[in-house]
Structure 1
């Protein structure tokens, strides 16, 4: 009977033992990099950045230079429909590869039929690198599109909504 009482007491003790786990929200915050760490990593990779303190929230906002490429109607638009469709498929593959490899953060066409056909925002440290990647696009190589690139600043980590 003594042994049974001891076993029951031990079982009760272990069954009631409270686990001490760090809440997931705290673990995620601890794992996140600080703005200073992100900024240092970007600078080491050759990116241009600056930060500022937002007046109302007092949050430090890290700004990074990106490059926005305007894809404009080019001089060589004489392709037949099959050729144009093939070039469009290759163009979309190129843009997908840029996104997958981390060189472009967003791309898309404009909704009108103007001379500026679309944009791509390149996440590269230099204008020269963004320009080189943009000129690898099959639509640009054939002259169906031409590229116009400008430096563009955006807050790091903010998303579209």
Structure 2
């Protein structure tokens, strides 16, 4: 009479599987990741995931066409100066132009939780006020470490922009 070995191997597999599963129950659960700094997380406004709210702004080509080169230079000097001021105040954590972005020209990420607060800051940008750019606002959930970006950037920036 021919007996199948399948039931034996099935039992062996189940026994091995349960032995593996029980070994995982003995692994301690880490409450926090290695290197977690509670004080820093609190200072940066981080939630339990190290994240926080920002406002992401996309600057697009606006309706204004300014042909006077001196006037345009003056507006952009104010644009760069304004970004520098907002960054120094800790309100602007990231800004930059898009490369080959078409009508989308650049972005701002503001250290603000509401779109209204970001709108108030963008209204101080001479290029937006002049109509060279328009702004589109979106709430953004990202790493709270972004607020430290400007401190790091100052250490690696050799030449002033604008």
Residues 146 and 33 (structure 1), Cα distance of their counterparts in 2 relative to 1, 3 Å cut:
same
Normalising by structure 1, report the TM-score: 0.62
Aligned residues: 113
Q: Is the aligned partner of 1:63 residue 2:19?
A: no
Post-superposition CA distance 1:32-90 (Å, at most 9, x none): 6164x447xx4xxxxxx643xxxxxxxxx221010111111000123321111111111
**In the aligned structure 2, how far is the partner of 1:98 from the partner of 1:38?**
19
Poorly superposed stretches of 4+, deviation over 6 Å = none
- The two structures, once aligned, show a CA RMSD in angstroms of 2.4
Residue of 129, 148, 151 corresponding to 1:141: 129
Specify which structure has the bigger relative contact order, considering alpha-carbon pairs within 8 angstroms and separated by 6 or more residues.
2
In structure 2, the partner of 1:95 is 83
**1:1-161 aligned within 5 A:** 33=39, 35=41, 37-38=42-43, 42=45, 50-51=47-48, 61-112=49-100, 114-157=102-145
Corresponding residue number in structure 1 for 2:23 = none
Provide structure 1 residue ranges, at least 5 long, that are not aligned to the other structure. 1-28, 43-48, 52-60
Contact 2:93–2:109 (Cα < 8 Å) also in 1? yes
Unaligned runs of 5+ in 2: 1-34, 150-162
